[in-house]
Amino acid sequence: MPRSLPRPRVGLLYNPTTPRVLAYANGLVEHLSVMPDRLWFDFGSEAPPGRRFHRVHDAIARVAEDLVGRSFAGHGLGLSLPSAIPLDEEMVAAGAAISRDLGGFAWHAEHLNLFIAPRGSVPNAQAGLGLPVIYDDEAFDLMAAKLRVVADAFACRILLENGSFFTPVPDLDYTEPEFLNRLLHAGLSGTLLDLHNLLVSARNGGMDPVAYLDALDLDGVEEVHLAGGDDHEGFYMDSHSTVTPDVVWELAYEYLPHCGNLKAITFEYQESYFDDLGLPTLAAELERIHALAEACGRPAEVARAG
Amino acid sequence: MLAEFQQALVDLTASPELCNLVRCGADDEVLPARYELTPRELRRLLAIVRHPGMAAACTVYRMNRLAPMALNVRGTIRALGPALGPLVNDYWRDYPRGHSHFYIESDRFCRWLRQRIAAGEPVAPEVPAILEREAAAVHAALEASCSDGLPYLEITAPAAS
């Protein structure tokens, strides 16, 4: 389906170095993706009721300043929705409160990754390790119940982001795009399509990105993430350490003009690589995303020909 | 059971030793002895463990779990030198679930390491002094992170599992 205007906005995943990017290239950033988990200290389940989440007031004030004049959405790290454990409703409430206090997320995204099991967890760093999910009816029912609660709490659309994996899971009932489509068609969530995660998973033995994107209902894609990674001992990592690689740009130009409900294209970089990347490189990357967004704002046939 | 499958997957990712045991040891017996798995779940786990990417997953797990200490007690980590690997393995066995509050995780590690040293753990002679200096800074940062003004230890006392 050809897109209609307006074109998607160009965004950044907010981190502590973002204010420096905004000072350098303010007009290039139209959208910010905010991680509530980075705006509080979570003292954990052993804290007494009502005392678990301690806000980082200075950081929240700074984010609020930077959101002025921009669209913004939430990006959660800690809920681990696919886990076969009860929903962390205290964290949902804390995230929803951050959303309300910032003026209301346009949408809120969570990861389609496993971070927590009943007796253990994998550390959920910003560019960290999420484990693969079993895509079957049991997982669907589990996710559906949790998504309804999260959507009610945040009072906005919920998106799920495809993860990056080192180890594909064999013999699944649904592929990941089929699972995302099923959630979409049930009215439970839209898709945050991380194109770099597709590359990471494919380089590490997962599904071919073209087959993945051909199977995905592109009308469900409401936000896209772009990022770069690096090789480590023969494996490709989603380290958010570099600019978007060429193969991801090719996928973006091929498929994003067909995403009829795409609202934002967001670049992710890890703040520990800020000095390596440098402001001119980050600004050039944002300009490049603007060109992509313009291409998405035209009918798909025109964009492809261009 | 899905919960058991997920627990096994997390435990395997956290433990290269368990991966090796499954790969080379009693083969299909190791996981069923520890987890209640359907035959299909067991087949999936065996395929994951035998996939070459499992080594990368285990490495990233360790990098991420070490991140709070690398940020907050860097001098202690450096001073421990080759003793670090075996020590963090023991620490992670005692605390299988990392804490998302990096100062709590670092404070917990400092307390644990202090106990180990007091119990006779051999470390380089400079480690105790560096540990005490960095542990004090971590504790101060942890107190400062209590934005409702109450001392950390009145909010929650860390306890070994």
Query: Which A positions 138-167 lie with beta carbon below 8 A of chain B?
Result: 138-139, 142, 165-167
What was the pLDDT predicted at A125?
Answer: 54
User: How many angstroms away from the CA of A7 is the closest CA of chain B?
Assistant: 37
- pTM to 2 decimals? 0.92
Question: Is the pLDDT assigned to residue B161 strictly greater than 50?
Answer: no
pLDDT, mean of residues B128-134: 98
CB contact, 8 Å: A79 with chain B?
no
pLDDT, mean of residues A269-275: 95
Question: Is the pLDDT assigned to residue A293 strictly greater than 90?
Answer: yes
For residues B151 and A50, the model is more confident at: A50
Q: Which long-range contacts (CB under 8 A, 24 or more apart) does A52-58 make?
A: A52/A90, A52/A94, A53/A90, A53/A91, A53/A94, A54/B145, A54/B146, A54/B147, A54/B148, A55/A98, A55/B147, A56/B145, A56/B147, A57/B147
pLDDT, mean of residues A11-32: 97
What was the pLDDT predicted at A298?
Answer: 66
Cβ separation B100–A124 shorter than 8 A: yes
A54: nearest CA in chain B? B147
Spell out which residues of chain A touch residue B52, defining contact as CB-CB under 8 Å: 205, 234
What was the pLDDT predicted at B151?
Answer: 63
pLDDT band, residue B160 (cuts 50/70/90): very low
Cβ separation B47–A55 shorter than 8 A: no
Among the partner residues B13, B54, B148, nearest to A122 by beta-carbon distance: B13
pLDDT band, residue A127 (cuts 50/70/90): very low
Among the partner residues A83, A171, A205, nearest to B6 by beta-carbon distance: A83
What was the pLDDT predicted at A2?
Answer: 47
Classified as helix, coil or strand, B19 is helix
Cβ separation B6–A121 shorter than 8 A: no
Q: What's the pLDDT tens digit per position in A238-266?
A: 889 999 999 999 999 999 999 999 999 99
Q: ipTM of this model?
A: 0.90
pLDDT band, residue A128 (cuts 50/70/90): low
Cβ separation A129–B13 shorter than 8 A: yes
Among the partner residues B44, B67, B159, nearest to A123 by beta-carbon distance: B67
* Domains of chain B, residue spans: 2-51, 62-147
pLDDT, mean of residues B89-99: 88
A200: nearest CA in chain B? B53
d(CA A76, CA A238): 17
What was the pLDDT predicted at A140?
Answer: 97
Question: Is the pLDDT assigned to residue B92 strictly greater than 80?
Answer: yes
What was the pLDDT predicted at A44?
Answer: 86
Spell out which residues of chain B touch residue A233, defining contact as CB-CB under 8 Å: 55-56, 59
Q: How many CB pairs under 8 A join A and B?
A: 143
pLDDT band, residue A46 (cuts 50/70/90): confident
A138: nearest CA in chain B? B2
Q: What's the pLDDT tens digit per position in B41-73?
A: 999 999 999 999 999 999 889 988 999 999 999
Cβ separation B6–A84 shorter than 8 A: yes
d(CA B112, CA B91): 7
Cβ separation A170–B44 shorter than 8 A: yes
Question: Is the pLDDT assigned to residue A99 strictly greater than 50?
Answer: yes
How many CA within 13 A on the CB side of residue A17? Answer: 14
CB contact, 8 Å: A23 with chain B?
no
Cβ separation B51–A124 shorter than 8 A: no
Question: Is the pLDDT assigned to residue B25 strictly greater than 70?
Answer: no
pLDDT, mean of residues A13-28: 97
